[in-house]
Amino acid sequence: MTGRTLLALFASLLLATDGAASDHPDGCSRAEIAKGSRQDRWIDVGGVRRTFILDVPETIEPRRAVPLILDFHGFGHSAEGVWRVSGFRELGVRERFITVYPQGLDVRMLGREGPGWDIFVLEGNREIAFVARLLDVLENEYCIDRSRVFATGFSNGAFLSHLLGCALADRIAAIAPVSGGAPDLACKPSRPVSAIVYHGRDDQIVPVDRGRRLFQEWKKLDACPGMRPRSDSEACERAVDCAGGVGVEYCEFDGAHRWPPQATGRIWEFFATHPLTP
Protein backbone atom coordinates (compact mmCIF):
# COMPACT_ATOMS: atom_id res chain seq x y z
CA MET A 1 0.00 0.00 0.00
CA THR A 2 1.49 3.37 -1.01
CA GLY A 3 1.95 6.32 1.33
CA ARG A 4 -0.68 8.31 -0.59
CA THR A 5 -3.17 5.43 -0.28
CA LEU A 6 -2.53 5.20 3.46
CA LEU A 7 -3.06 8.96 3.79
CA ALA A 8 -6.37 8.77 1.91
CA LEU A 9 -7.50 5.84 4.07
CA PHE A 10 -6.59 7.71 7.24
CA ALA A 11 -8.47 10.80 6.03
CA SER A 12 -11.57 8.73 5.26
CA LEU A 13 -11.53 7.13 8.71
CA LEU A 14 -10.99 10.51 10.35
CA LEU A 15 -13.90 12.09 8.51
CA ALA A 16 -16.20 9.15 9.23
CA THR A 17 -16.21 9.96 12.95
CA ASP A 18 -19.38 11.78 14.02
CA GLY A 19 -19.49 14.26 16.88
CA ALA A 20 -22.45 14.69 19.16
CA ALA A 21 -25.22 16.88 17.78
CA SER A 22 -24.66 19.39 20.59
CA ASP A 23 -21.11 19.94 19.31
CA HIS A 24 -22.38 21.03 15.90
CA PRO A 25 -24.61 23.74 14.43
CA ASP A 26 -28.40 23.89 14.32
CA GLY A 27 -28.37 22.22 10.91
CA CYS A 28 -27.56 18.89 12.57
CA SER A 29 -31.12 18.64 13.87
CA ARG A 30 -32.68 18.78 10.38
CA ALA A 31 -34.15 15.53 9.07
CA GLU A 32 -34.16 16.86 5.48
CA ILE A 33 -31.73 19.12 3.63
CA ALA A 34 -31.67 20.71 0.18
CA LYS A 35 -29.26 18.69 -1.94
CA GLY A 36 -28.08 19.27 -5.47
CA SER A 37 -25.26 20.51 -7.66
CA ARG A 38 -24.98 24.17 -8.60
CA GLN A 39 -27.62 25.70 -6.35
CA ASP A 40 -27.77 29.45 -7.09
CA ARG A 41 -28.21 31.22 -3.75
CA TRP A 42 -27.99 34.68 -2.21
CA ILE A 43 -27.93 36.25 1.23
CA ASP A 44 -28.20 39.79 2.56
CA VAL A 45 -25.04 41.14 4.17
CA GLY A 46 -25.49 44.62 5.61
CA GLY A 47 -28.08 45.51 3.00
CA VAL A 48 -25.99 44.16 0.09
CA ARG A 49 -27.12 41.15 -1.95
CA ARG A 50 -24.28 38.61 -2.04
CA THR A 51 -24.57 35.57 -4.28
CA PHE A 52 -22.93 32.15 -4.27
CA ILE A 53 -23.14 28.69 -5.81
CA LEU A 54 -23.66 25.77 -3.45
CA ASP A 55 -22.88 22.11 -4.12
CA VAL A 56 -24.45 19.59 -1.74
CA PRO A 57 -23.84 16.07 -3.11
CA GLU A 58 -26.56 13.44 -2.88
CA THR A 59 -24.11 11.41 -0.77
CA ILE A 60 -24.47 13.92 2.11
CA GLU A 61 -26.60 12.62 4.99
CA PRO A 62 -28.75 15.20 6.85
CA ARG A 63 -27.59 14.66 10.43
CA ARG A 64 -24.01 13.60 9.71
CA ALA A 65 -21.41 16.35 10.29
CA VAL A 66 -19.54 17.08 7.06
CA PRO A 67 -16.66 19.35 5.98
CA LEU A 68 -17.22 22.61 4.07
CA ILE A 69 -14.87 24.11 1.47
CA LEU A 70 -15.04 27.76 0.41
CA ASP A 71 -13.60 28.17 -3.12
CA PHE A 72 -12.92 31.76 -4.28
CA HIS A 73 -12.53 32.80 -7.92
CA GLY A 74 -9.84 35.10 -9.28
CA PHE A 75 -10.15 38.73 -10.35
CA GLY A 76 -12.38 39.18 -13.40
CA HIS A 77 -13.69 35.63 -13.06
CA SER A 78 -16.85 34.21 -11.52
CA ALA A 79 -18.26 31.69 -9.09
CA GLU A 80 -19.59 29.70 -12.04
CA GLY A 81 -16.16 29.68 -13.67
CA VAL A 82 -14.34 28.28 -10.64
CA TRP A 83 -17.21 25.83 -10.08
CA ARG A 84 -16.49 24.44 -13.54
CA VAL A 85 -12.71 24.17 -13.35
CA SER A 86 -11.47 23.57 -9.79
CA GLY A 87 -12.67 19.96 -9.58
CA PHE A 88 -14.13 20.05 -6.08
CA ARG A 89 -17.68 19.37 -7.27
CA GLU A 90 -16.68 15.90 -8.49
CA LEU A 91 -14.45 15.20 -5.51
CA GLY A 92 -17.16 16.27 -3.06
CA VAL A 93 -19.49 13.52 -4.26
CA ARG A 94 -16.96 10.82 -3.45
CA GLU A 95 -15.48 12.34 -0.29
CA ARG A 96 -18.80 13.70 1.05
CA PHE A 97 -18.16 17.37 1.61
CA ILE A 98 -20.09 20.53 0.75
CA THR A 99 -18.51 23.22 -1.43
CA VAL A 100 -19.55 26.85 -1.71
CA TYR A 101 -18.39 29.15 -4.51
CA PRO A 102 -18.93 32.80 -3.50
CA GLN A 103 -19.29 35.54 -6.13
CA GLY A 104 -17.19 38.67 -5.77
CA LEU A 105 -18.35 42.27 -6.25
CA ASP A 106 -16.61 44.79 -8.48
CA VAL A 107 -13.15 45.92 -7.37
CA ARG A 108 -10.51 48.03 -9.10
CA MET A 109 -7.30 46.13 -9.71
CA LEU A 110 -4.55 45.95 -12.33
CA GLY A 111 -5.80 49.21 -13.85
CA ARG A 112 -9.32 47.98 -14.50
CA GLU A 113 -12.57 47.12 -12.73
CA GLY A 114 -14.14 43.69 -12.47
CA PRO A 115 -15.59 41.09 -10.10
CA GLY A 116 -13.20 40.19 -7.34
CA TRP A 117 -12.33 40.54 -3.68
CA ASP A 118 -11.34 43.48 -1.49
CA ILE A 119 -7.97 42.41 -0.10
CA PHE A 120 -6.61 45.82 0.86
CA VAL A 121 -8.09 46.25 4.36
CA LEU A 122 -8.85 44.04 7.32
CA GLU A 123 -10.88 46.44 9.46
CA GLY A 124 -14.46 46.50 8.18
CA ASN A 125 -13.63 44.26 5.22
CA ARG A 126 -16.83 43.43 3.32
CA GLU A 127 -15.54 40.01 2.23
CA ILE A 128 -14.76 38.89 5.77
CA ALA A 129 -18.26 40.00 6.82
CA PHE A 130 -19.70 38.09 3.82
CA VAL A 131 -17.88 34.88 4.73
CA ALA A 132 -18.82 35.11 8.42
CA ARG A 133 -22.49 35.60 7.50
CA LEU A 134 -22.32 32.82 4.90
CA LEU A 135 -20.96 30.39 7.48
CA ASP A 136 -23.74 31.33 9.89
CA VAL A 137 -26.38 30.62 7.23
CA LEU A 138 -24.90 27.31 6.06
CA GLU A 139 -24.33 26.07 9.61
CA ASN A 140 -27.99 26.73 10.31
CA GLU A 141 -29.15 24.82 7.21
CA TYR A 142 -26.65 21.95 7.13
CA CYS A 143 -24.73 19.81 9.58
CA ILE A 144 -21.38 21.51 8.99
CA ASP A 145 -18.49 20.21 11.06
CA ARG A 146 -17.15 23.43 12.59
CA SER A 147 -13.71 21.86 12.98
CA ARG A 148 -13.51 21.22 9.22
CA VAL A 149 -14.25 24.48 7.45
CA PHE A 150 -11.61 25.25 4.82
CA ALA A 151 -10.82 28.08 2.38
CA THR A 152 -9.06 27.96 -0.96
CA GLY A 153 -8.93 30.29 -3.92
CA PHE A 154 -7.11 31.24 -7.10
CA SER A 155 -5.13 34.46 -7.65
CA ASN A 156 -7.19 37.31 -6.10
CA GLY A 157 -9.20 34.57 -4.36
CA ALA A 158 -5.94 33.10 -3.01
CA PHE A 159 -5.12 36.45 -1.39
CA LEU A 160 -8.58 36.39 0.20
CA SER A 161 -8.11 32.86 1.56
CA HIS A 162 -4.94 34.14 3.26
CA LEU A 163 -6.88 37.06 4.81
CA LEU A 164 -9.52 34.66 6.09
CA GLY A 165 -6.82 32.67 7.83
CA CYS A 166 -5.67 35.91 9.46
CA ALA A 167 -9.13 37.26 10.44
CA LEU A 168 -11.30 34.16 10.94
CA ALA A 169 -8.85 31.72 12.46
CA ASP A 170 -11.50 30.70 14.97
CA ARG A 171 -13.68 29.41 12.13
CA ILE A 172 -11.29 28.43 9.32
CA ALA A 173 -9.27 25.27 9.97
CA ALA A 174 -6.91 25.49 6.98
CA ILE A 175 -6.28 27.54 3.85
CA ALA A 176 -4.95 26.69 0.39
CA PRO A 177 -3.94 29.77 -1.65
CA VAL A 178 -3.22 28.93 -5.31
CA SER A 179 -1.21 31.42 -7.42
CA GLY A 180 -1.59 34.19 -4.86
CA GLY A 181 0.22 35.90 -2.03
CA ALA A 182 -0.24 38.09 1.01
CA PRO A 183 -1.31 41.76 0.86
CA ASP A 184 0.72 44.25 2.89
CA LEU A 185 -1.42 43.91 6.00
CA ALA A 186 -0.60 42.75 9.51
CA CYS A 187 -1.72 39.13 9.92
CA LYS A 188 -2.46 38.17 13.53
CA PRO A 189 -4.48 34.94 13.61
CA SER A 190 -6.04 34.05 16.95
CA ARG A 191 -4.62 30.53 16.70
CA PRO A 192 -2.27 28.55 14.43
CA VAL A 193 -3.82 27.88 10.99
CA SER A 194 -2.76 25.10 8.62
CA ALA A 195 -1.76 26.32 5.15
CA ILE A 196 -0.78 24.71 1.87
CA VAL A 197 0.46 27.10 -0.82
CA TYR A 198 0.50 26.28 -4.56
CA HIS A 199 2.33 28.44 -7.10
CA GLY A 200 3.64 28.15 -10.67
CA ARG A 201 7.29 29.04 -11.11
CA ASP A 202 6.55 30.68 -14.48
CA ASP A 203 3.70 32.87 -13.17
CA GLN A 204 3.85 36.29 -14.89
CA ILE A 205 0.81 37.74 -13.07
CA VAL A 206 1.69 36.98 -9.46
CA PRO A 207 5.44 36.22 -9.44
CA VAL A 208 6.50 32.99 -7.80
CA ASP A 209 8.42 34.94 -5.15
CA ARG A 210 5.04 36.02 -3.73
CA GLY A 211 4.07 32.40 -3.21
CA ARG A 212 7.42 31.57 -1.63
CA ARG A 213 7.13 34.55 0.72
CA LEU A 214 3.59 33.48 1.65
CA PHE A 215 4.89 30.06 2.63
CA GLN A 216 7.61 31.67 4.76
CA GLU A 217 5.03 33.96 6.39
CA TRP A 218 2.84 31.04 7.49
CA LYS A 219 5.89 29.19 8.74
CA LYS A 220 6.60 32.21 10.92
CA LEU A 221 2.97 32.75 11.99
CA ASP A 222 2.67 29.09 12.95
CA ALA A 223 6.07 29.02 14.65
CA CYS A 224 7.44 26.16 12.53
CA PRO A 225 11.12 25.73 13.46
CA GLY A 226 12.31 23.51 10.63
CA MET A 227 11.72 21.65 7.38
CA ARG A 228 11.35 17.96 6.66
CA PRO A 229 13.91 16.64 4.15
CA ARG A 230 12.18 16.18 0.80
CA SER A 231 12.72 13.11 -1.38
CA ASP A 232 12.92 13.27 -5.18
CA SER A 233 9.40 11.82 -5.44
CA GLU A 234 7.80 14.62 -3.41
CA ALA A 235 6.48 17.75 -5.11
CA CYS A 236 5.89 19.76 -1.93
CA GLU A 237 8.05 21.12 0.89
CA ARG A 238 6.78 20.60 4.42
CA ALA A 239 7.51 22.51 7.61
CA VAL A 240 7.77 20.52 10.83
CA ASP A 241 6.95 20.91 14.53
CA CYS A 242 4.54 23.81 13.97
CA ALA A 243 2.57 25.27 16.87
CA GLY A 244 -0.66 23.49 17.73
CA GLY A 245 0.20 20.57 15.46
CA VAL A 246 -0.83 22.47 12.31
CA GLY A 247 0.68 21.83 8.88
CA VAL A 248 2.42 24.25 6.52
CA GLU A 249 3.39 23.14 3.00
CA TYR A 250 4.59 24.73 -0.24
CA CYS A 251 4.01 23.14 -3.66
CA GLU A 252 5.68 24.71 -6.70
CA PHE A 253 4.75 23.46 -10.16
CA ASP A 254 5.94 23.91 -13.74
CA GLY A 255 3.47 26.36 -15.20
CA ALA A 256 2.15 29.89 -15.35
CA HIS A 257 -0.79 31.66 -13.71
CA ARG A 258 -3.34 28.86 -13.54
CA TRP A 259 -4.97 26.27 -11.30
CA PRO A 260 -2.89 23.07 -11.69
CA PRO A 261 -5.07 19.94 -12.07
CA GLN A 262 -3.03 18.06 -9.46
CA ALA A 263 -3.76 20.71 -6.82
CA THR A 264 -7.40 19.74 -6.19
CA GLY A 265 -6.76 16.25 -4.84
CA ARG A 266 -3.65 17.26 -2.90
CA ILE A 267 -5.46 20.22 -1.29
CA TRP A 268 -8.30 17.95 -0.20
CA GLU A 269 -5.85 15.43 1.31
CA PHE A 270 -4.24 18.30 3.24
CA PHE A 271 -7.60 19.66 4.42
CA ALA A 272 -8.83 16.21 5.46
CA THR A 273 -5.89 15.71 7.81
CA HIS A 274 -5.74 19.24 9.26
CA PRO A 275 -8.90 20.02 11.24
CA LEU A 276 -9.28 23.04 13.54
CA THR A 277 -6.95 22.79 16.50
CA PRO A 278 -8.25 23.50 20.04
For residue 15, the model assigns a pLDDT of 45
In a domain, 261, yes or no: yes
In a domain, 16, yes or no: no
In a domain, 178, yes or no: yes
For residue 16, the model assigns a pLDDT of 41
Give the total number of structural domains in the chain: 1
For residue 22, the model assigns a pLDDT of 39
Report how far residue 120's alpha carbon sits from residue 110's, in angstroms, rounded to the nearest whole number. 13
Is residue 9 over pLDDT 60?
no
Mean pLDDT of 248-256: 96
In a domain, 15, yes or no: no
In a domain, 182, yes or no: yes
4 confidence band (pLDDT: 50, 70, 90): very low
In a domain, 8, yes or no: no
Tell me: the pLDDT tens digits for 231-247? 777 789 999 999 999 99
In a domain, 2, yes or no: no
Tell me: the pLDDT tens digits for 34-93? 999 999 999 999 999 999 999 999 999 999 999 999 999 999 999 999 999 999 999 999
For residue 12, the model assigns a pLDDT of 44
| pTM, two decimal places | 0.91
Report how far residue 195's alpha carbon sits from residue 26's, in angstroms, rounded to the nearest whole number. 28
96 confidence band (pLDDT: 50, 70, 90): very high
Mean pLDDT of 118-145: 97
In a domain, 7, yes or no: no
For residue 235, the model assigns a pLDDT of 82
21 confidence band (pLDDT: 50, 70, 90): very low
Structural domain containing residue 203: 26-272
Q: Contacts by 183-192 with C-beta closer than 8 Å and gap 24+? A: 183/119, 183/120, 183/159, 185/120, 185/121, 185/122, 186/122, 187/162, 187/163, 187/217, 187/221, 189/165, 189/221, 191/244, 191/277, 192/221, 192/222, 192/223, 192/242, 192/243, 192/244, 192/245, 192/246, 192/277
Report how far residue 11's alpha carbon sits from residue 132's, in angstroms, rounded to the nearest whole number. 27
Mean pLDDT of 11-20: 42
Instruction: Show the CA angle centred on residue 100, arms to residues 99 and 106, nearest 5°.
Output: 150
CATH of the domain at 259: 3.40.50.1820
For residue 26, the model assigns a pLDDT of 76
Distances (CA, A) of 21 to 45, 188, 228: 28, 31, 38
